Amino acid sequence: MKIVKILGVFVLLAVAMLTSAFTIKGITSARVTPVVRVVRAYAPAVVNIRTENVVDLKQYPEWGRYGAQLDAFLKRFYGEMYSQGVLQYKSLGSGVILGKDGLIVTNAHVVQKATQIYVVLKDGAILKAEVVKVSQGDDLAIIKAQLPYPVKEVRFANIGDLMIGETVIAIGDPLGLENSVTVGVVSGKDRGFASQVCEYTCSGLIQTDASINPGNSGGALLNLDGELVGINVAVVQDAQNIGFAIPAVKITRLLEELE
């Protein structure tokens, strides 16, 4: 009997150790917070957007008069981006996949004037995209790409329920660092400010202290239910932890215009 009892104790200890290990490494771990669950589910819907813009300076009348003088200067100033009157530059931004049809929302300033638009998925797949609809006044654009596989669709948050102080998650590609995640709270609603980024209107915005950096433009701002609260748009220069997002209701209005 003593041997049986001892064996029983060992079995219980083994089970306890296995359970503890599972709790630490498995989905029941306390480390798997609501933020982690949202990121796991919806980060694949946030894409990197790369654009190319080619400007042929030779098409302008002034080039015939000043081209020779400008050529050396432009080569020195732009380096590899410039060659014999042709300037080619690239920019980075973010976007959010809205559905299985390959519609992606981003900022208008990310894709405007681009001659080529590329969408980079989380697994590194690069897709060509084209502009479908632009709202310059809201700094929003809908582009479309042929998705090679389905991506979990984001749902739109009810902005009327948005609470000051609630946790929000910003996902984007700041400085080309794909699928970077920052967390903060809703700092304010219906904000407006003057900025060169928002050439047209900077009003009705959601303010957040989640870190938003260059390249985050067009990325997702999500709540803890995984709903799209807004599209990240800008930060105030010389400020800390003051970022803004375009509310999701403006995206739904733009989508309605496509129907």
Residue position matching structure tokens 């403006």: 250
Beta bridge partners of 103: 144
Type of residue numbered 93 = G
Cα diameter, the chain: 105
Give yes or no for a contact between 75 and 183, defined as CB atoms under 8 angstroms apart. Answer: no
Cα–Cα dist 78/88, whole Å = 9
Cα–Cα dist 96/133, whole Å = 15
Token reading at 248: 């999701």
Give yes or no for a contact between 73 and 64, defined as CB atoms under 8 angstroms apart. Answer: no
Closest CA to 213 of 179, 250, 168, 172: 172
Token reading at 120: 């980079």
Token reading at 94: 């973010």
Of the CA atoms within 13 Å of residue 158, those in its CB half-sphere come to 2
Give yes or no for a contact between 28 and 36, defined as CB atoms under 8 angstroms apart. Answer: no
Local structure of 205: helix, strand or coil: strand
Catalytic residues: 109, 139, 217
Type of residue numbered 84 = Q
| Helix (H), strand (E) at residue 18 | helix 2-25
